[in-house]
Structure 1
Amino acid sequence: MVFKIIVRFFLGIFSLACSSSVFAFEIPNRSDSRVLTWQRFQAPPLTITKGEDQNNGIIDSIRALITKDLTEFEHQEIDLPYKRFLLYATEKLNVCTPYLFKTPEREKYLIFSKPVVIFPGFEIIMHKKLHEKLNHADSLSLDSLFSKHRMRLATNKVRSYSNIINPIIAKYESEKLVSRHNGSTTLIFRLLNAERADFMVDFPNRLLYWAKELQVDPYDYVSIPIKEDYANATSYFACPKTPWGANVIDRVNMSLRKHVNSPEYLTILKRWSHDYHESEIEDLHQRLLGYYED
């Protein structure tokens, strides 16, 4: 009798786990071309899925502009990690993402929109007191921070940056100048705030969000370009490379043309930026407009 109760208990747990898994990775509609399923994910401040700033991310707000114009579709959202979205795209399911970087490999099975946002690339984030010791430099050498100044970097265990930044970090891991941690960017910022690390590497538009999350003054920190890697980042909408996906991207591009040069669009791009980054964002917005001149 006891054995049966135990078996039923574990079967119930297994059943609940399976049902939760199905819910977490709900399969997009396979047949109804009128249903447009959007990938939803937490990548603040670009996409924000929880907290008081939910749906107030940069990409969230741009997608809201676009979906208002795409009235022929029934829009729905599902929570999907990137690997799952890319898998669904290869299976040609009717699912799109509002935020993706373009690569040759992805272009084999995805159709990309015109550029949606061009934003500053990875930068060095540190407390302004440390920046003062570096003579308020306009840019910093990542290699010199390690080799000359012996500063400590905190990052995530699985975090990857660029083909230029990654080898520099790897070079100094054996010297205990790089600490890798499980957990989110929130943890890394906490370490920085507690002075258990000297700097972190991230996109500058994340600084205001994480400072707000941890209730610290964002102006106690600075975000400085990396001398070795000045590359900007460009994001796109993307859908599966199918007739359905091509139609969606055509409609997205039409809507982007309508909004991209509006004051509202520029206001969205500046939403999570430090004051000293606003002129750079305006310059990048002008570069973005160049893709819409044809």
Structure 2
Amino acid sequence: RRHRGLPAVSLAWGQWAESSGMTGTLDATDLARLGRSGFLPMSNEEGLALFDDALRQDEPLLATARLDLSALREKARGSALPAVLKGLVRTTARRAATTDARTAATDGDGVPPAQRLAALPEAERRHALLDLVRSNVAVVLGHGTPGAIGSERSFKELGFDSLTAVELRNRLTTAAGLRLPPTLIFDYPTVGALAAYLLAELTPAEQPAPSGDLLAELDRFESAVLAADPHGPGHDQIAARLEEMLRRWQSAATPQHGEPAEDGDRVADRLQSASAEEVLDFIQNELGVN
């Protein structure tokens, strides 16, 4: 219509305070997330006033919303403010973001995350990264504590969308002092997978443990797995972790072209496509444990 010289205006509405078919399902967590994003609910009177004002503008497309400028400034300091909103607030965003990133890349004593994690035992490193990811997920989604964030639940199941995905990536970039890809939660779709990725990025390469120590660790691991109820709670998660371990082992143990495959490679080949039940059967039967 505008192209043809006819009157037309399209309005992109923000949130109305009055419950409607679009907003009636939002809970307190959803509303808190919107508030942190810098968008506040508008009353009917405010919405109608914006409507009247929009009709007086000679623009084909307008966004009508009630904004929290202090929240926008906070997002700008963390480099999380969308470009379309940057002209609304004044802030030394680039300098503040750089300072924040440098500060967050070290602990209170100035120790970088990689160095701090390297001093921890393997299990504690993984636990520390899980806590880091879960706590940031809780903040992004508006949960009071990270206790409700299961490590094996997918980000899609938790309720992430493109905006919250970017917010989580930005927070973890600052917290870990790493350059993380925009597709972070799509490449690593669960809290556990994302924590494992961060662990690999932050932990320096280590020399492999002697085979005797590794076998002793495997013995303890095997005893712990076989002591658990294979049909109890968490069975699927445990099986999935075992499958992932075997896939990673296969990848590391794959021979170069022209080299003969070892027995371990053949076992890994068999388990590559195994189901969860078959993996548990393998542990009980192939390892000689009844």
TM range (shorter): under 0.3
Q: Indicate the structure with greater strand content.
A: 1
Quick check: which has more Rg, 1 or 2? 2
TM-score w.r.t. structure 1 length? 0.23
Work out which structure has the larger RCO, using CA pairs closer than 8 Å and 6 or more positions apart in sequence.
1
TM-score w.r.t. structure 2 length? 0.23
